[in-house]
Structure 1
Amino acid sequence: MDGHGTAADLEAWIDVHGGALLRFAYLLTADRDRAADAVQDALVAAYPRWERIVAAGDPGAYLRRSVVNAHTSRWRRSLRREQPVADVAGLAGRHVDDPADRIATEDALWLLCRALPGRQRAAVVLRYYEGRSDPEIAATLDYSVSTVRSQIHRALATLRTRLADDEEEVSSP
């Protein structure tokens, strides 16, 4: 490798953007170890072709897509579905004054997100955590823009239903 795609360039990119890539992977996988594995898989695969990745532009988008692919591959290989159960009763409509309450609310919402199907979770993470636009999400996930919108719409509908169900459980005698 020479020029814009050296091993040193990859290391420099990791120094600057590696933390954000790991946070993205964590939000996608909801597990620190799985997130680290997905990032490692993506970086190992990117290393031999780093020069071409940089030349193509936006290596961050390429690596985020690689993380999504690595996570999906590991999930498919495991052949097991995890359905986490979260106690989020009373979160809907709750007024949050204390920063600790805000953090607890965000944690509970991310627990609900963990139960979403992978495609929906990836789209939600890219939209609401990374602040990406629909076209950016579509490019990252290799979906059409309309698929991105429908995945986010379905995810939000699922989250609303689960929050309403949790609120109902609290108000039931």
Structure 2
Amino acid sequence: MNADDEREFREFVAARSKPLLHTAYLLTGDWEQARDLLQTALASTARRWSRLRDRQQPETYVRRAIYHAQTDRFRLLSWGKEMVTDKLPDPPAQAVDWADTVVQRHDIMAALRQLPRRQRAVVVLRYFEDLPDPEIAEILGVAQGTVRSQTHKALASLRAAFAEAQPSATALPFPVPGKSTVA
């Protein structure tokens, strides 16, 4: 990597690391795993920085690398090298925050962890990163119709999970396609 490429890459990392880390966190549900995922994606990007065809959109390349690194992580999990459990470890005493927003965030993250990897990626990219279908399709390497169908399936699963957990709840913490939120 020449000096100009290195400078451009450092500027990109400085400007975009925080939102990319947020995406990685939403995909993994764990800050340490998210940092590892982002580090892996940025290392891959750094190796290819001088060859990236479209320097105007390196973020799309990094998001794709994050998604694929997460996919590889899931593959490792499925081979029994790590165990996924339904029970979260007890949080450290100083990190406990009982505000309603924290509880809702926990519930949403737990529901997201139950989704298959592609559905989770679609929900994260659409609703947390506010990306349009064409960009999501490009990042995931799928058709736009797949993005829409995976979104529909994911939201149906999330609605069912929240309905099961809170049968008397009238408002869900995520959008419901085709349903108006105004009574």
How high is the TM-score relative to the length of structure 2? Answer: 0.77
- 1:162 lines up with 2:164 in the alignment: no
Query: Structure 1 or 2: larger helix share?
Result: 1
- C-alpha displacement of 1:84: 3.1
Aligned counterparts, 1:9-48, within 5 A? 9-48=8-47
1 CA distance for matches of 2:128 and 2:87?
22
Q: Which residues of structure 1 form unaligned runs of 5+?
A: 87-99
Is structure 2 residue 68 aligned with structure 1 residue 84?
no
1:116-164 Cα distance to aligned partner (Å, 9 max, x none): 1110000000010000111111111111001000101000000111111
CA offset at residue 45 of structure 1?
Answer: 1.2
Which one scores higher on RCO, CA 8 angstroms, separation ≥ 6? 1
Out of 48-57 and 117-126, give the one that drifted further: 48-57
Distance 1:121 1:72 in 2: 11
The alignment covers a number of residue pairs equal to: 157
Tell me how far apart the structure 2 counterparts of residues 77 and 34 of structure 1 sit (CA, whole Å).
14
Query: Which residues in structure 2 correspond to 1:81-160 (within 5 Å)?
Result: 82=84, 84=86, 100-160=99-159
Structure 2 distance, partners of 1:22, 1:47, is 16
Share of identical aligned residues, percent? 37
RMSD: 2.4
Distance 2:35 2:86 in 1: 20
Q: TM-score of the superposition, structure 1-length normalised?
A: 0.81
Provide structure 2 residue ranges, at least 5 long, that are not aligned to the other structure: 89-98, 170-183
